Amino acid sequence: MDLGLTGKTAVVTGGSSGIGLATVSLLLEEGCRVALCARNADRLDSVRDRLAERFGAQAILARACSVLDAEEMAAFAGEVEDTFGGADLLINNAGQGRVSTFADTSDEAWRTELDLKFFSQIYPTRAFQPMLQSSDCGAIVGVNSLLAYQPEIHMVCTSAARAGVQNLLKSLAVELAPDIRVNSLLLGVVISGQWERRFEARPDQNQSRQDWFREQALSKNIPLGRFGEPEEAARAIVFLGSPAASYITGARLELSGGVSRFV
């Protein structure tokens, strides 16, 4: 199936590792020009150089900036417009989880987490909205978590923030229509650098990677018996943001191996 992404321009926040990097790579494979941002300049430079070898430097723009800084996001958007002439797709992927219960989450931690989850969506959306509205296929994909609907008590702060973000994305799908489609991806457990570090620190150093990850998935009662791979999340993101999904907006797509219990 042709996703209709050839010659389009996509923007990916948090694009230097994990799901973000897998998404950037897939978009480039689909013929997109891609602008990616992340905070770690050294890692971003390394990623850009590797991608340029595969896809050509002319298809890639990489800038170190924070999604929590409105001025930096505006400057990044301006550079994307100067370099590529506009943007057709925004993927708001930056963010991380906080492990804490209600009892051990401080007021400062609450504010930090709410600020991160909301403004990592708000500032990039605000910065790129004019370009997306000028596109004939403008779309936003907000990468969110299953915690928005199925909270965990050991991640109470993140769960509450994720629920709010889901509400925000649903509202944007109405407000920005018909010019911009807005959809969300609800992630379960996807293998990340954090999980790789946990594997490296496993008690039984003789246990294989496959066996260890299978054991973790079974402990979480994931019906498919494994964690997701970044590339699997990337495929879902790219489809939702592509012209192939042109009549889908305000939707949520769950990528969790079947672990959800809500209807």
Cα angle for residues 183, 189, 193 (degrees, 5° grid): 105
CA distance 14 to 24: 10
At 127, list the tokens. 């910065």
- Averaged pLDDT, groups of 10, the chain, 263 residues long: 97 96 98 97 96 97 97 98 98 88 96 96 98 98 97 95 98 98 97 89 94 94 96 98 98 97 88
Spatial contact of 101 and 21, defined as CB atoms under 8 Å apart: no
CA distance 159 to 210: 29
CA distance 248 to 198: 37
Give the H/E segment covering residue 70. Answer: helix 70-84
Look up tokens 């294989």; give the residue. Answer: 208
The CATH number that domain 9-190+228-255 falls under is 3.40.50.720
Query: Domain extents for the chain?
Result: 9-190+228-255
Closest CA to 138 of 129, 147, 126, 146: 129
CA distance 140 to 132: 9
pLDDT number for residue 117: 96
pLDDT number for residue 204: 94
pLDDT number for residue 194: 81
Query: For residue 100, what is the DSSP state?
Result: B
Q: Give Rg (Cα) of the chain.
A: 18
pLDDT number for residue 94: 82
pLDDT number for residue 155: 94
SS3 35: strand
